[in-house]
Structure 1
């Protein structure tokens, strides 16, 4: 789509101006007239204006919309709509109150799209760098069910949970990360500077060296001779891995492998299933049929393998199977969750029980994150001890042998 700058007048004669995205100037005019605005001038914006968002500054230093901004936007919009303020007036108020220029431009674009007759979810889809597919899909659910204010509250709570989860994970991994970085730097310095110096001393003595020392000397020699090639190979390997993960098959394999990682796999799985359960419960509570609700869930699930299981559940429901039967076939839920699904189908309260499932998974994620640092510390200590042992044996064992020979 192209971005057009327009000026026009409303039916009451009030002058209007702004920006609107459309396929052509004719489509832009049609959208304006559909929104009750008679266009006076329509002009396509330049490439630089589109890149800079019309701010006239360098995009490199332009402010960006952060997740916390979207979170606060959701909460403020919920409060305004809950108070009975129309959506257009709510957006106008947020444009004036926000301190982030980038977010103000996004809200302005949303307001202009609504004035042109578009849905809010369609307008948000034009800003994928701000609103995720999950956010857009939930807004679309809110528009279809008339519960848009509730959707914004749920999105605020969801974004708050994800923000706190990321913060706790970073806090738990901060100390082990520093230790691992220090270990890598220490090993690199020893390989490049220390071991070559000892190798010259040992070579001058002409004595037979222990196996561990010979391994360290050869490792140091390879590092010095081919270090840049090894670094380039590592960079190419990482780039190739990212390209492979971008493919459908690669992402499916990698996302399934992430669920089996020793320390973080269970956290990833439970947090993904919590999002699944919460989204499914919200969709069912909004009156969406189960099959269509699972389509929304599969679209917003950020793990390709679990998304494929959700699609399998949807296909089973479309064939007439029960939710419990399809959940058992998907093989991603534990027996407790399956029992709750069974009770929900019997009592007709699947949405309420799926909400409880989401709360249960979130409590488990919270507990595992709190104990993550305690589980990582023994591994770090063992790794440090192993490296120190190898270096001590490789560097000092020949000295001990030479000292014992000299004494004799």
Structure 2
């Protein structure tokens, strides 16, 4: 019988690790539920045909973040309108925006009809609902506030999508500029230069320096391409090696945080995501330690993720959250101050959500300022490159006129 390694939450909110024997991953998770544990991750210890561990994933159709946010908002609206849970899911399964969402609602409904709770049904789709999502729903069930819990989750997901949409929108114009610059450069190098260069060679005249430089680049394009390919290959190999070396990942993430402008932006984004996740979970009644574990998984920066592991251990040992967070480098001091106020007034969840809103807005403003500076900078750079090429061609054309006059 296969052996599965697992990470699961206990009833006290502690994250436990161990091994369990079962025929399938689903049976392993059922056994963990019977033990009073909530599975976070289930991995086959000795998969057939190889030694690589893979996280078990359920579901036949993938869902993007926008679809999950839409599903959560519609579900929250129905629950807050006091529509029974099974009826809400029947409505969603019949009127979902996409076939994938309707299939998802039908799957959840089937598990609930079989006797599972909503949170237990959601755990069977880890490819759609992460640990933070499931934990908020579970605590909402405990206190009888599933609707508000889903509403908080919808707010969190929608804010993340809004930030992503702003970044994508801001990058459209720079991407268009770069595309036009590449096309313009290709036209100059592919048509004008080859037409002009032979005239000087046929007349045994010295090639203009600018035109000669372009021809030298074209002549050595293979060597240049090889050097670029080697550099890209080294970067790719280094990146793949770093994926299996946590210490390298942490060092790289810390390097990013030291870059001017970029570093503070990354720190603000990580702080906002951590605060919103933890604040939403605390408001839903999730214990602090369990909320910290889930909030940690929401932070993608490896350096912060590692530091948050130490914060969790300090809090488990009796330290305050604000005091432990104050020792994390690059965390904005104002965030720590607001956490302190939240702990002193017993409103840590609300204060964390305020921290999240503040830094989400600041992140948006920083991105907008950066994109506002990027557009004119790109315009000037592209104008310089294309203008330089055109001036080189014009210089060659004038030289041809001189040859004709002679």
Pairwise same-fold verdict (TM > 0.5): yes
Q: How many residues align?
A: 358
- Give the conservation status (yes or no) of the 8 Å contact 1:192–1:220: no
Counterpart Cα distance in 2 of 1:74 and 1:377: 36
Q: Give unmatched runs, 5+ long, in structure 2.
A: 1-21, 35-56
Match of 1:330 in 2: 328
- 1:229-281 CA-to-partner distances (Å, cap 9, x unmatched) read 68977986786577457546465455555556666655444233212111222
Instruction: Give the alignment's TM-score, normalised by structure 1.
Output: 0.72
Counterpart Cα distance in 2 of 1:144 and 1:81: 15
Counterpart Cα distance in 2 of 1:263 and 1:175: 21
Match of 1:75 in 2: 73
Match of 1:315 in 2: 313
Counterpart Cα distance in 1 of 2:82 and 2:345: 34
Match of 2:53 in 1: none
Matched, 1:290 2:316: no
State the shift of 1:217 in Å.
Answer: 1.3
Q: Give unmatched runs, 5+ long, in structure 1.
A: 1-21, 35-49, 54-62
Match of 1:186 in 2: 184
- 1:111-146 CA-to-partner distances (Å, cap 9, x unmatched) read 222334444344334334433454334334434555
Matched, 1:196 2:194: yes
Counterpart Cα distance in 2 of 1:265 and 1:183: 29
Match of 2:216 in 1: 218
State the shift of 1:317 in Å.
Answer: 1.9
Counterpart Cα distance in 1 of 2:210 and 2:314: 59
Matched, 1:276 2:274: yes
Counterpart Cα distance in 2 of 1:190 and 1:90: 62
Counterpart Cα distance in 2 of 1:359 and 1:377: 27
State the shift of 1:178 in Å.
Answer: 0.3
Match of 2:156 in 1: 158
State the shift of 1:174 in Å.
Answer: 0.9
Match of 1:395 in 2: 393
Residues 329 and 235 of structure 1, relative CA distance in 2, 3 Å threshold: closer
State the shift of 1:165 in Å.
Answer: 1.9
Matched, 1:126 2:124: yes
State the shift of 1:52 in Å.
Answer: 9.7
Counterpart Cα distance in 2 of 1:127 and 1:234: 40
- Give the conservation status (yes or no) of the 8 Å contact 1:71–1:159: yes
Counterpart Cα distance in 1 of 2:176 and 2:325: 41
Where 1:329 maps in the other structure, the secondary structure is: coil
Where 2:327 maps in the other structure, the secondary structure is: helix
- The 5 A counterparts of 1:36-55 are none
Counterpart Cα distance in 1 of 2:183 and 2:255: 29
Counterpart Cα distance in 1 of 2:243 and 2:137: 27
Match of 1:96 in 2: 94
Residues 115 and 327 of structure 1, relative CA distance in 2, 3 Å threshold: same
Match of 1:379 among 377, 380, 383: 377
- Give the conservation status (yes or no) of the 8 Å contact 2:279–2:349: yes
State the shift of 1:65 in Å.
Answer: 3.6
Structure 1 vs Structure 2 CA RMSD: 3.9
- Give the conservation status (yes or no) of the 8 Å contact 1:135–1:155: yes
State the shift of 1:153 in Å.
Answer: 0.3
Counterpart Cα distance in 2 of 1:403 and 1:394: 15
Residues 130 and 285 of structure 1, relative CA distance in 2, 3 Å threshold: closer
- 1:133-165 CA-to-partner distances (Å, cap 9, x unmatched) read 543343344345554322210111112212222
Counterpart Cα distance in 2 of 1:378 and 1:124: 47
- Give the conservation status (yes or no) of the 8 Å contact 2:58–2:127: no
- 1:165-191 CA-to-partner distances (Å, cap 9, x unmatched) read 222222211111100111123223433
State the shift of 1:192 in Å.
Answer: 3.6
- The 5 A counterparts of 1:238-257 are 243=240, 246-247=243-244, 249=246, 251-252=249-250, 255-256=253-254
State the shift of 1:398 in Å.
Answer: 5.0
State the shift of 1:387 in Å.
Answer: 0.4
- 1:300-343 CA-to-partner distances (Å, cap 9, x unmatched) read 22333322232222122223333232222112322222222232
